[in-house]
């Protein structure tokens, strides 16, 4: 099969790992300009294939071990603040790359000792200035519209209920409270939130999950089924 690449994976891998393989194949296809097939096979066949390759003098194989990862419970490192000429945070230029989501084994946005929880009871009104920064930061990093949604809550309007549900579930794994109302993602917006701490975390976690939704999940419909049919 000249001009074609085949990635063979264990059929019993977790769904998240299979999706990561599909993402890798799609990026590789774009990079090399060649089709990449993802095939899932029982581990017994993979063992037989590996044994055959070891005995084949003309075959070349190389195994890549994962790099050492930090404590998965440790929060992600903080990106440096960038400021505009008017003294306000430059949210649009704050991040050029994103860490892996906690869903895929990356560091969570917040550590387990400092989560952002949903406000209890009726909550208190958010600080108007901090709320405005959260809305502006989410708009600059994702293009999504955000608004106050009652005391202690910020509502982000997503493209669909499916997108809102996916982002909600993933954000909870980042140790940030979230809930769902149809196509709206609701996030905590406490009255005592600080610009460089809670406000930045909210904007970062929305930008991070939105990036993955746009770049990987929303486009995975054309990839994931190929794994299931293999």
Q: Which pLDDT belongs to residue 108? A: 83
- Please give the Cα distance from 158 to 162 (Å, whole number): 9
Q: Long-range contact list for 91-99, CB < 8 A, 24+ apart? A: 91/136, 91/137, 91/140, 91/141, 91/203, 92/140, 92/141, 94/141, 94/203, 94/204, 95/141, 95/204, 95/207, 95/208, 98/207, 98/208, 98/211, 98/212, 99/208
Q: Which pLDDT belongs to residue 1? A: 47
Residue 55, both tokens = 């005995």
Q: Which pLDDT belongs to residue 229? A: 29
Which pTM does this prediction carry? 0.59
- Tell me the pairing of strands 153-157 and 184-188: antiparallel
Residue identified by tokens 């294939």 is: 49
CA distances to 129, 168, 206 from 156, in Å: 17, 11, 9
10-residue mean pLDDT series, the chain (230 residues): 76 81 83 86 85 80 64 55 76 64 80 82 73 92 91 92 93 93 93 89 92 74 35
Q: Which pLDDT belongs to residue 222? A: 38
Contact assessment for residue 63 and residue 50, using Cβ atoms and an 8 Å cutoff: no
Contact assessment for residue 1 and residue 34, using Cβ atoms and an 8 Å cutoff: no
- Tell me the pairing of strands 179-181 and 36-41: unpaired
Q: Put residue 57 in one of left, alpha, beta given phi > 0 → left and psi -120 to 50 → alpha.
A: alpha
Domains annotated for the chain, with CATH where assigned, are 5-65 (no CATH), 91-217 (3.90.1150.10)
CA distances to 8, 10, 63, 67, 207 from 51, in Å: 15, 15, 14, 25, 44
- Tell me the pairing of strands 153-157 and 179-181: unpaired
Contact assessment for residue 134 and residue 154, using Cβ atoms and an 8 Å cutoff: yes
């Amino acid at each position: 099969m000249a001009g074609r690449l085949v990635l063979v994976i264990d059929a019993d891998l977790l769904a998240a790992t299979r999706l990561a393989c599909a993402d890798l194949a799609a990026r590789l296809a774009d990079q090399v300009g060649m089709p990449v097939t993802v095939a899932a096979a029982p581990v017994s066949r993979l063992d037989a294939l590996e044994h055959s390759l070891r005995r084949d003098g003309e075959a070349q194989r190389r195994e890549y071990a994962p790099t050492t990862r930090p404590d998965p419970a440790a929060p992600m490192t903080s990106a440096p603040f960038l400021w505009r000429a008017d003294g306000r945070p430059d949210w649009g230029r704050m991040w050029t790359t994103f860490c892996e989501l906690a869903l895929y084994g990356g560091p969570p946005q917040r550590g387990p000792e400092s989560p952002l929880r949903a406000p209890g009871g009726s909550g208190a009104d958010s600080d108007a200035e901090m709320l405005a920064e959260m809305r502006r930061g989410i708009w600059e990093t994702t293009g999504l519209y955000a608004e106050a949604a009652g005391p202690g809550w910020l509502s982000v309007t997503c493209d669909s209920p499916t997108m809102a549900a996916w982002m909600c579930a993933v954000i909870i794994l980042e140790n940030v409270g979230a809930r769902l109302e149809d196509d709206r993602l609701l996030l905590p917006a406490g009255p005592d939130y600080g610009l460089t701490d809670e406000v930045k975390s909210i904007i970062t976690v929305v930008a991070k999950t939105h990036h993955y939704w746009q770049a990987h999940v929303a486009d995975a419909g054309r990839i994931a089924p190929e794994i299931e049919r293999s």
